[in-house]
Amino acid sequence: MKPGYNTNGLAFHRWDDAIRLIAETGYTSVAITVDHYCLNPYAPDLPQQIVAMQELLTEFQLSSVIETGARFLLDPRVKHEPTLVSPSKEERSRRIDFLKHCVDLAAALDSDAVSFWAGQLKQDLPREEALQRLAAGCREVIDYAAAQNVKLAFEPEPGMVIETLSDFRELLTLVDHPCFGLTVDIGHLQCMGELPISQHLLPWRERIFNIHIEDMLKGVHDHLRFGEGEIDFTDVFAGLRQIDYQGGLHVELSRHSHMAPEVLRESWSFLESCLKSA
């Protein structure tokens, strides 16, 4: 496994400083959240940013995943919008275009995967229609990613159309491809009651391309520092060993950016301890 950290947890740092801090702490992977200040696909200096990011990842021998969950990059007024299930075709196309740009970034950086989610359904629509809408968007992104040999890691997210691993299985009946796998957020499994976590990882061993990790309480979608929730991490790491997971294990604490250096260090110590004892 490659312990890592998400740049959304260093939102008040310059992105190059964030990468250096992550590497210097000891992490070997980075989840790069594309945002206004980091690899913004619509920024005029994007080519220069890509070169600088390539150089940093090479210097520190970091693997990477491209994350697409920026809060207000596509709409300054509504968080995470538009999505693959937004009401209008124009809105959905805007999200698809963004995801394609992220695939380009992943190809340029040789990233392990592009991580993305469904979005919230904000209109009265039968679930079957919502899933068809989502599947159509996924197919377009899958075709684009497959042509560049980029993996896609779909994340079930509490409150969205696909919340659980069971929901993801439902989506797979409509769209499937070898490059289409999972981002599993360990906290989300706890939140949604998919317990014991180790047993919910096992059926997906061939599909898990990316992992987010943090602490969490059952039924409460709040990303917590390790030790503040109720996750059985002995079970989690036993499960990860059981499936021989070797990808990125990315801490996701986006609401702790104001204390990033401290949380970076304590999270590293926790993960290091778990990996040694697993």
For residue 264, what is the domain's CATH number?
Answer: 3.20.20.150
Amino acid present at 267: S
Q: What is the pLDDT along the chain (278 residues), one digit of tens a residue?
A: 999 999 999 999 999 999 999 999 999 999 999 999 999 999 999 999 999 999 999 999 999 999 999 999 999 999 999 999 999 999 999 999 999 999 999 999 999 999 999 999 999 999 999 999 999 999 999 999 999 999 999 999 999 999 999 999 999 999 999 999 999 999 999 999 999 999 999 999 999 999 999 999 999 999 999 999 999 999 999 999 999 999 999 999 999 999 999 999 999 999 999 998 86
Domain that holds residue 262: 2-277
Nearest-angstrom CA–CA distance, 120 and 156: 11
Amino acid present at 101: H
Contact call for residues 65 and 31 (beta carbons, < 8 A): yes
Nearest-angstrom CA–CA distance, 48 and 46: 5
Structurally, how many domains does the chain consist of? 1
Nearest-angstrom CA–CA distance, 121 and 133: 11
Cis peptide before 196 (omega within 30 of 0): yes
Distance between start and end Cα atoms, the chain: 11
Cis peptide before 82 (omega within 30 of 0): yes
Cα 85 → chain centroid:
18
So what's the pLDDT on residue 277? 84
So what's the pLDDT on residue 78? 96
> Could you identify the residue written with the tokens 């950016």?
257
In the chain, % helix, strand, coil (3-state, to 5) comes to: 45, 15, 35
Closest CA to 37 of 71, 83, 1: 71
Six-digit token string for 162: 């696909």
Six-digit token string for 108: 């340029």
Instruction: Give tens-digit pLDDT for 249-262.
Output: 999 999 999 999 99
Nearest-angstrom CA–CA distance, 2 and 213: 12
Nearest-angstrom CA–CA distance, 42 and 44: 6
